[in-house]
Chain A
Amino acid sequence: MAKQIVEMLVETATMELPDVKTLHLKWPEGYDAEFKTGQFITVYWPHKQKYKRAYSLSSCALDRGFFDVTVKRDGKMGTSIVDWCEAGDKLFVIPPVGKFLPAFEPLGKHLICIAGGSGVTPFRGFVREATRRNLDTRITVLYTVRTTKDIIFNEEFRQLEKENPRFKFEVTCTRLAPEDPWTGRRGRITAEWVKSFIGDAASTVFYACGTNELVAATEHLVLEELKLAKEQMRTEKWG
C-alpha cells in the first residue's frame, strides 16, 4: 500500500503516568501499513495541519490494525495530547519511517538498549516482537528515570521478563530520597554499569534513545571506549 497520510481514530487514550499518555490509533478501513518495529510516525491535529510532531511507535510490527504512541507532556503537542486528547478524537498520521530498528537478523545478537525517560517507548516494541516470535535475540533494557514513579511500562516490562528469559529490564533511579524503599540501582547510567551487561562485545548492538546527553555518552562508550564499529551503535534522540 502506498505511503499515505490518513486520519486515525483515537480508540483509547491511557494515562501511563501523570505526564505520559499512550494513544491507541485505529487504522481506518482498508488501511494496511508496511512498517518495522522501532520506526516513528508523525502526527498532527486536523485543525493545526502545519504543526506536526514525531513519536516512536511503542507497539511493534506484529501489532496490526493500530499504532500505539506513548507521549510525554512536552511542548504544545505533548501538552495537548496528555491534557486533552481522549477516545473519539482524530489525528492525522504520516506512516512510519526511521532506521532505529532492532537487529533481529542475523539471529543470536544481544541488543543493549539504553533509555532515558520516554526514550524507553520504542524498546517496548523491540521486546514485544522478540518475545512473540520467540527469537533467540537477547535484549537488555537499561533504563534511567528520576524516581520509581517515572518508570513507563513497568508492569508490562516485568511481565515480558517472565515470559522471555532472554530479556532483562534494569532500572536505575537518579533522584530517589535516601529513605525510599527501592532496592534497585541508584544513580546515573555509567560506563561500568553498561559494561557489566556485555558478554560477547562483537555480537552486541547498542541502542540509545533519550536526551542528546544520554545518546552522546552512549556513543562515546561504544565507539571510543569499547572501540566497536559504528554499525554496532544505533541512536534515536528524544524518543
Chain B
Amino acid sequence: MSTQIPADLKYAKSHEWSRIVGDIATVGITDHAQHELTDIVFVEFPAVGSVVKAGEACAVVESVKTASDIYAPLSGEIVEVNKSVTDNPALVNTEPDTGGWFFKLKLSAPAEAAQLLSADQYRQQIGG
C-alpha cells in the first residue's frame, strides 16, 4: 500500500504533520504513523489554551497494539482540538491528513517551521 505524503505539509521526524496557514498550524499524525500504529482506539489532546514547546510530548494516541506520545512539532498555544477525533478515533486511520487532525496551534515562533521536513525529506526518512 502506498503511503500518502501530501506535498503541502511539513513533517516532524517523530511523524507529525503541520499544515501552516498564517500563524496557525493544524497538526496531525502521518499516514505512515497511523499505519504503523494500526487501529486507533483512543486519543488524548492537550487543553485548549495550553502552551506547548516544539518537541514537547503533548498528546497521546493509543491503538489496539500500543500507546504513543505525540510531540508538538512547533511552539505555540493550543487554540482548538478536534472533537470529532475524540468521539471517533478511527478517523485518524481513515483520514490521517485531513479530517483526522489533532489540534491547531497559534505559533509563537513561526521560524521553527524551517526545521521541519519537506514531503520529499519525510519520504526519504521512512524509506518510502
Contacts and interface: CB of A to CB of B under 8 A. Distances in A.
Interface string B32-43: 000010010110
A74 interface: yes
Contacts of A54: 64-65
A53 B41 CA distance: 8
Contacts of A75: 42, 60, 62, 66-67
Given A212-B36, A237-B36, A74 B66 contact: yes
Contacts of B41: 50-53
A156 to B, nearest CB: 24
Contacts of B65: 53-54, 237-238
Interface string A18-57: 0000000000000000000000001000000011111000
A178 B90 CA distance: 46
A78 B64 contact: no
B42 A238 contact: no
B36 A74 contact: no
A64 to B, nearest CB: 26
A50 B41 CA distance: 7
A76 interface: yes
A54 B67 CA distance: 12
A238 B62 contact: no
Nearest to A40: B65
A212 B127 CA distance: 14
Interface in B42-84: 42, 60, 62, 64-67
A238 B39 CA distance: 13
A36 to B, nearest CB: 19
A76 B42 contact: yes
A237 B66 CA distance: 9
Q: Closest 10 A-B residue pairs measured CB to CB?
A: A75-B67, A238-B66, A75-B62, A54-B64, A238-B65, A74-B67, A51-B41, A54-B65, A53-B64, A52-B64
Interface of A: 42, 50-54, 74-78, 212, 237-238
Given A54-B65, A77-B62, 10 more contacts: A50-B41, A52-B64, A53-B41, A53-B62, A53-B64, A74-B66, A75-B42, A78-B67, A237-B66, A238-B66
28 contacts: A42-B64, A50-B41, A51-B41, A51-B42, A52-B41, A52-B64, A53-B41, A53-B62, A53-B64, A54-B64, A74-B66, A74-B67, A75-B42, A75-B60, A75-B62, A75-B66, A75-B67, A76-B42, A76-B62, A76-B67, A77-B62, A78-B67, A212-B36, A237-B36, A237-B65, A237-B66, A238-B65, A238-B66
